Amino acid sequence: MKKILIVDDQKTILITLEAILKQHGYHVFSATNSMDAFDKFNSEHIDLVITDAVMPLGSSGYTLITSIRSAQKNNHVPIIMLTGKREKADVEKALTAGADDYIVKPIDPDILSTKIKNLIDKSTTHIEFIEAPVNAVANVITKTEIISMSEIEIKLITNIQMSPGQIYKITGDFFKSLGLDSVNTRVASCEKFSDSQFKISTHFVGLTDKELSQIRMWIRKRLLGS
């Protein structure tokens, strides 16, 4: 049974998270501040950490992530920041500290469980979200074609090979049409598509509820042909 450490100073969030995680068969440890969380992390074999950003006692999720990542042996442990902070600067701060993913509250149980499964299993098996075909160009480093998008991921065709786990900021007119200047994504898989191209599956990182709603609305309109 995989062990997950959840860290949040709000008891209601811990109760909600614990219920979601236990439903999926995970063993859950909890803490209300980063210092207690770090002690539990070091005393148990933790498979994944979910932490809030701001907590009491002068600690934060950012310092917890930095403390965990300070030991090379912990670099393989996936960390998700789950917080109400929704500015792009907050997302980038968490990723710089060493977070693998960033989820903005309120909690979407399906998206949360899918991201956890992908991070723990290192696979692309997840709950099936509806995909809509996309015919648009985005710029990562070179010209990149978006071929489909769901609530949790974007699939790309590009001529550069990307390693799973890498974080990329993607921009393009397609995203601007949705009211998004850019999106942060984490590479989930990369496979050979042709002699010079790769098919990339990337998962959204740090979408706000407003941005997620815009994506959901676009998918529905696309599938309805409007």
Neighbour order of strands in the sheet with 3-7 = 27-31, 3-7, 48-51, 79-83, 101-104
Element (H, E) at 141: none
- The predicted-structure confidence for 40-98, as pLDDT tens digits, reads as follows 999 999 999 999 998 877 779 999 999 999 998 898 899 999 999 988 889 989 999 99
Q: Which of 55, 53, 49, 87 is nearest to 207 (CA)?
A: 87
Long-range (24+ apart) CB contacts under 8 A made by 36-42 are 37/5, 37/7, 37/64, 38/64, 38/67, 38/68, 40/5, 41/5, 41/68
pLDDT of 83: 93
pLDDT of 209: 87
pLDDT of 126: 46
Domains of the chain from N-terminus onward: 3-121 (3.40.50.2300), 132-224 (2.40.10.220)
pLDDT of 48: 97
pLDDT of 112: 94
pLDDT of 140: 57
- Average pLDDT of the chain is 89
Q: Tell me the percentage of the chain whose pLDDT exceeds 90.
A: 65
What's the pTM?
A: 0.79
User: Average pLDDT for residues 196-212, to the nearest whole number?
Assistant: 92
- The predicted-structure confidence for 110-159, as pLDDT tens digits, reads as follows 999 999 998 988 644 445 677 888 888 776 555 688 999 999 999 999 98
Task: Say yes or no to pLDDT of 222 above 50.
Answer: yes
